[in-house]
Amino acid sequence: MTPREAQRLWKALNRPNLMVKIPSTVAGIQAVEVLIAEGINKPNLYRES
């Protein structure tokens, strides 16, 4: 999956807990780095009030 495809899914599904599967190849690792930098696939941490 490319960063562009992951971004499209992220926006289309609008789910804060969406996880995308990216292979652990050189290109995949680069894609993960891009997506993490853009805030995709980071856990949404919250506190109970």
Domain ranges across the chain: 3-37
What pLDDT sits at residue 4? Answer: 86
| Closest to 6 measured CA to CA, from 22, 27, 25 | 22
43 phi and psi angles, rounded to 5 deg: -70, 140
Model confidence at 15, pLDDT cuts 50, 70, 90, reads confident
What pLDDT sits at residue 43? Answer: 52
**3 has pLDDT over 70:** yes
- Tokens read off for 23: 């292979």
**45 has pLDDT over 80:** no
What pLDDT sits at residue 41? Answer: 63
Instruction: Catalogue the active-site residues.
Output: 21
- Tokens read off for 16: 């804060």
Interacting residues of 10 by C-beta distance below 8 A, sequence separation 6+ = 18, 20, 40
Model confidence at 9, pLDDT cuts 50, 70, 90, reads confident
